[in-house]
Amino acid sequence: MKVTLISILVRDQEKALQFYTDKLGFIKKKDEPLGGGNRWLTLVSKDWPDGPELLLEPAPNHFEPSKVYQDALKDAGMPWTQFDVDDVEAEYERLTGLDVEFSVKPTEMGPVKFAILDDTCGNYIQLVQTL
């Protein structure tokens, strides 16, 4: 068994696509129309193009419980998911240069350094570097 797809709830698929590709550097893998303005829209890491796909899931627009959960996580300051990076400080500097907002600046905690960014689509995302 292996993980091949991970969903991130987003309120606007096109806005999320622009953020995750232009700012975070992901690559679009699939973009299939599903009707009603929705798409099966997946991304992959440029460093791991055959790795797990990230599905930009428009559920908060159609399923109220998912919107409530997304809002509760963000209100609590909790990230939706985490992405591993080689150097949190370098990513923080690169992304703040692209006007990405962070709720937590690079912080060391035990064997990791992390930072938390706002994806502009309803989520906090944690960047993690193993020290």
Q: For residue 38, what are the β-bridge partners?
A: 35
Q: What is the pLDDT of residue 84?
A: 97
Q: In this structure, are residues 60 and 9 in contact, taking their beta carbons and an 8 Å threshold?
A: yes
Q: In this structure, are residues 89 and 55 in contact, taking their beta carbons and an 8 Å threshold?
A: no
pLDDT in tens, 20-30: 999 999 999 99
CATH architecture of the region 5-130 = Roll (3.10)
Residue bearing tokens 């570097």:
129
Which phi and psi (to 5°) does residue 60 adopt? -60, -20
**Residue 60 pLDDT level (bands cut at 50, 70, 90):** confident
Q: In Å, how far from its chain's centre is CA 124?
A: 8
**Residue 15 pLDDT level (bands cut at 50, 70, 90):** very high
pLDDT in tens, 31-42: 999 988 999 999
